[in-house]
Amino acid sequence: MGFIRKIITPRPKKKEDIFYTDLSKILGFKPKNISHYQKAFVHRSIKEFDKNTGFPLNYERLEFLGDAMLSAIIAAHLFQIVPSGDEGYLTQMRSKIVSREHLNELGKDLDLLRFIRSNVILSNFGENVHGNIFEALIGAIYLDRGYAYCQKFIYKRVIAPYVVDILKLEGKITSYKSLFIEWCQKKKKELVFEVYEDSGNEPIKQFSVKLFLNGELIAKGRSTSKKKAEEVAAKRAYYAFQNEITAG
């Protein structure tokens, strides 16, 4: 009597299973309520609505929560490790750790953009989307696991690799615009930011800015908001005049 051997073909993993597995590796623990994390990667362009409340469903509310948790946990950490720091110093150090540039780097390092659900082509996103969804992820962790898990994640991903060298952190520039304005005021130079028409065809609105010093155009900037475009222009201006600025 012959036997028929059954050939079992492995079932392909569902997107939900892949998301859960990959996310667990990033978090360092297994999520309890995966829906919180799914919401952390929904872009407003999807135009989805919460089934229970009817309100728009995207990562922006979680981003707000994550930003608050990140700020509070880092403030507490700095308070402990820098007992000599006054309010102004601690505020400055916290701003440097949670700078948009740093959060964007963290989001990129974790490749969080691979999880996002959006009707916008990924190449059309601005740099800040990386930091935005990183903050949204922190918000999701807080809702799913509470303060202790949120604190542990921030220590591992944000604090541990960054605040080891406090002297290096002290020298980090968080706002080129503020620095350049301060230098211009000190040297009695006239500084003007001028928004001009942006003819780009991107689906996300872009703002363009010209930076004039004593009536002369010295730099341009372009980004998804006027404030960000001004910062881009100021950064370019800073490096153009770096020798003069650092010389005092």
Active site residues: 67, 135
Written as six digits, the tokens of 17 are 């299973």
DSSP structure class, residue 204: S
Distance of CA 128 to the CA centre of its chain: 5
State the Cα–Cα distance between residues 41 and 35, nearest whole angstrom: 10
**Straight-line distance from the first to the last Cα atom of the chain, in angstroms, rounded to the nearest whole number:** 95
* Cβ 187 vs Cβ 171: under 8 Å: no
Query: How far from 75 is each of 107, 146, 152, CA to CA, in Å?
Result: 21, 18, 15
The H helix count followed by the E strand count for the chain is: 11, 5
50-87 per-residue burial string, b: 16 or more CB within 10 A, e: under 16? eeeeeeebbbeebbebbbebbeebbbebbeeeeeeeee
Q: Helical H runs in 28-59?
A: 34-39
Residue type at 140 in one-letter notation: A
State the Cα–Cα distance between residues 123 and 120, nearest whole angstrom: 8
